């Protein structure tokens, strides 16, 4: 036991090693769950993954750097269209095509993040929210006007078939799940793999010197500037990193939906992402994951609830925004710090947390 502790202790003390171990264990568990689930649940898990990636970038932007963005749905649209155009050109028949498309989506959104982040860095509070809200309204309209983006009908998205995947991937999935991979499970595995990589990167970035600068700017920009921190540069970097996460999420969303159209990236998507971040806990990646889970699974729950009380399928689908709003209101009233923040506060005030604090 002492030997095991001597091995674990150095690993736990290094943030990068700790985050990598947690991400690896979480991904293996996710593979087992996805492999034993139905195609419907696999689709929901894939949806949860790309929502979590976008929410993780948004919680870093809003929770750590203090910039309120209402335009992340537009950034997801940029990533989705960039990935779709690449897949359309390459054919989207191989795994390499998929990763090239996602890398292009990330790169394009990084450029957009810099272009939008530079003027946005001069704004504060509701002004930056208004500027990003304009972005959320404008981008779908632009995509609707240009023929290269397919207009209102959008563009079809091609993804590799399960039989086109490399043999070693099929063998690896069979080793962990004892289930053959198909197109639904492939997209779920891909989403959770990229989610694990993204969260490791964001978690380490938030613990780095860059993350400490973001917190300083968020808490007191005057003191941060006096300490030698370049406020504009810190805000632009935060916005760019968040935009890159949104671009990756948009590319994954396009592959899962198999269609990239302006109607999927309305202002509702941006507001829903922000609500998910607030619901889970602002500034917490775990909270972003919980909020993404609510986004992915609440519509089905609300629809079943509506049908159980005698509503038609159409009427039950319209109940979803109402249920989501009620859940958000209850969390704000009962857990103002979000689910994760309130849970941490409860544990800190519990006898176990008080005892641990006294001993330290």
Residue by residue, DSSP assigns 63-124 as IIS----S-HHHHHHHHHHHHHHHHHHH-S-SHHHHHHHHHHHHHHHHHHHHHHHHHHTT--
pLDDT at residue 356, as a whole number? 46
Cβ–Cβ < 8 Å for 82, 90: no
Identify the band that residue 353 occupies on the pLDDT scale cut at 50, 70 and 90.
low
Is residue 255 a part of any domain in this protein?
yes
d(CA 36, CA 30): 10
Is residue 33 a part of any domain in this protein?
yes
For the stretch 108-131, pLDDT in tens is 999 999 998 888 877 776 778 888
Buried b (16+ CB within 10 A) or exposed e, 234-255: bbbbbbbbbbbbbbbbbbbbbb
Is residue 308 a part of any domain in this protein?
no
Cβ–Cβ < 8 Å for 75, 109: yes
pLDDT at residue 358, as a whole number? 47
Helices (H) and strands (E) in the chain, counts: 16, 2
Is residue 328 a part of any domain in this protein?
no
d(CA 80, CA 101): 9
What is the token pair recorded at 200?
């490791």
Structural domain count, the chain: 1
Question: φ, ψ for residue 336 (rounded to 5)?
Answer: -60, -25
Mean pLDDT of 59-70: 87
Instruction: Calculate Rg over the CA atoms of the chain.
Output: 21
Cβ–Cβ < 8 Å for 256, 248: no
Cα 249 → chain centroid: 6
Identify the band that residue 3 occupies on the pLDDT scale cut at 50, 70 and 90.
low
Q: pTM for this one? A: 0.90
Is residue 327 a part of any domain in this protein?
no
Mean pLDDT of the chain: 84
Q: How far is CA 263 from CA 70, 140, 151, 238, 259, in A?
A: 17, 7, 10, 28, 10
Range of the domain at 74: 2-266
d(CA 335, CA 173): 39
| Residues with Cβ within 8 Å of residue 221, at least 6 apart in sequence | 231
Find, among 190, 185, 246, the residue nearest to 56 by Cα: 246
Is residue 130 a part of any domain in this protein?
yes
Is residue 356 a part of any domain in this protein?
no
Mean pLDDT of 167-186: 85
pLDDT at 44 over 80: yes
pLDDT at 8 over 60: no
Is residue 159 a part of any domain in this protein?
yes
Question: φ, ψ for residue 155 (rounded to 5)?
Answer: -120, 140
d(CA 163, CA 182): 8
For the stretch 276-317, pLDDT in tens is 888 888 888 998 999 899 888 888 887 887 778 777 777 777
């Amino acid at each position: 036991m002492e030997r095991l502790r001597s091995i674990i202790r150095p690993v736990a003390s290094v943030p990068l090693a700790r985050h990598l171990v947690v991400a690896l264990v979480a991904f293996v568990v996710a593979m087992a769950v996805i492999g034993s689930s139905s195609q419907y649940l696999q689709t929901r898990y894939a949806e949860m993954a790309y929502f979590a990636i976008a929410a993780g970038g948004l919680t870093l932007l809003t929770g750590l750097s203090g910039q309120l963005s209402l335009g992340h749905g537009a950034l997801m649209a940029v990533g989705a269209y960039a990935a779709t155009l690449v897949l359309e050109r390459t054919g989207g028949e191989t795994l390499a095509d998929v990763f090239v498309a996602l890398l292009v989506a990330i790169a394009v959104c990084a450029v957009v993040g810099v272009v939008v982040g530079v003027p946005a860095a001069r704004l504060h509070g509701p002004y930056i929210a208004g500027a990003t809200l304009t972005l959320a309204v404008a981008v779908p309209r632009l995509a609707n006007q240009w023929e290269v983006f397919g207009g209102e009908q959008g563009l079809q998205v091609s993804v590799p078939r399960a039989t086109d995947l490399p043999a070693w991937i099929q063998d690896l999935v069979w080793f962990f799940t004892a289930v053959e991979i198909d197109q639904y499970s492939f997209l779920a595995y891909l989403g959770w793999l990229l989610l694990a990589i993204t969260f490791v990167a964001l978690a380490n970035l938030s613990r780095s010197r860059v993350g400490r600068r973001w917190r300083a700017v968020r808490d007191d920009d005057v003191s941060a500037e006096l300490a030698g921190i370049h406020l504009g540069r810190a805000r632009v970097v935060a916005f760019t990193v968040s935009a890159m996460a949104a671009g990756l999420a948009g590319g994954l969303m396009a592959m899962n939906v198999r269609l990239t159209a302006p109607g999927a990236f309305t202002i509702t998507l941006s507001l829903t992402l922000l609500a998910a971040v607030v619901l889970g806990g602002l500034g917490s990646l775990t909270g972003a994951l919980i909020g993404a889970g609510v986004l992915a699974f609440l519509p089905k729950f609300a629809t079943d609830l509506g049908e159980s009380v005698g509503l038609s399928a159409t009427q039950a689908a319209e109940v979803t925004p109402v249920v989501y709003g009620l859940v958000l209101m209850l969390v704000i009233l009962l857990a103002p710090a979000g689910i994760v923040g309130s849970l941490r506060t409860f544990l800190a005030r519990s006898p176990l947390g008080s005892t641990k604090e006294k001993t330290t």
